[in-house]
Amino acid sequence: MELHPDIKEVILSEEKIRKRVRELAEQISEDYKGKTPVLVSVLKGSVIFLSDLLRFMKINPKIDFIGVSSYQGKTQTTGEVRLVMDLKDPIYGEDVIIVEDIVDTGLTLEYLRENLLTRKPSSLRICVLLDKIEARKVDVPIDYRGFVIPNKFVVGYGLDYDERYRNIPYIGVLKEEVYKR
Ligand code: PRP
C-alpha cells in the first residue's frame, strides 16, 4: 500500500498491529472466560482499536464509551483532563476493562481509573495499544499492553493530529511541514 503523503515514517505496520491486537484479544478472552466484561472505549482515538479487539475476542463483552479531553488540537497535553461524555450504563459490579489507544503522560488514564473506581465495578483493568513509557508523569497500572513506542507524536489507527489522519491503517509519524500548515 502507498504511504500517505504526510507521513514521514511508519512505526507500526497494519500487519504488526493486527497480529498484536489478536494476541491481546486472545489473552483477554482467556482471562475473562465465562465472564461478560464491559470494554470502556475512551473516545475518540480508541474506537478502531476497540472494534478490532472486539472482533478477535472469543467471549461476548459489552461495550460502552466515555469521552475525555486534554489535547485540544495540540500535540502536547495541557495536563487538565475533563469528562466530556459519560458512560451510558452504570458499571457497579461489572468487570470493566478500559480500552485506550495510547498512554503518554498517564494523566488521562489516572483520571479515568479514579473516576470509574468510585462507581464500584467488580474489577477494573486497563488495556492500551501504545505505551510511550518515556513520557510518563504519573504511574498507572497497565494490564494489557500492545507496544512500547518511542516518545514521538504518532497518528493513524484512530490517533489524530487536529482531528485528521485517524483513518490511516498503520501508526506513523507526520512530516514536520504538516505542523507548520
Ligand atoms: C489521547 C489518547 C489518550 C490521551 C493519552 O487522547 O487517546 O486519551 O491522549 O495521553 P496522556 O497519557 O498524556 O493523558 P486525545 O486527547 O488526543 O483525544 P482523542 O482520543 O479524542 O484523539
Q: Is residue 1 part of a domain?
A: no
Q: How many angstroms does the Cα of residue 133 sit away from the middle of ligand 1?
A: 14
- pLDDT tier at 91 (50, 70, 90 boundaries)? very high
Q: Is residue 170 part of a domain?
A: no
- pLDDT tier at 63 (50, 70, 90 boundaries)? very high
**Cβ of residue 108 lying under 6 Å from some atom of ligand 1:** yes
Number of domains in the chain: 1
Q: How many angstroms does the Cα of residue 34 sit away from the middle of ligand 1?
A: 32
Q: Is residue 173 part of a domain?
A: no
Summarised one tens digit per residue, pLDDT across range 123-155 is 999 999 999 999 999 999 999 999 999 999 999
Structural domain span for residue 93: 17-152
Residue 167 to residue 38: CA distance in whole angstroms? 25
CATH code assigned at 65: 3.40.50.2020
Taking alpha carbons only, the member of 172, 130, 169 closest to residue 153 is: 172
Q: Is residue 132 part of a domain?
A: yes
Q: Is residue 104 part of a domain?
A: yes
Q: Tell me which of 44-53, 75-84, 87-96 is least confident.
A: 75-84
Q: Is residue 11 part of a domain?
A: no
Q: Is residue 181 part of a domain?
A: no
Residue 74 pLDDT more than 80?
no
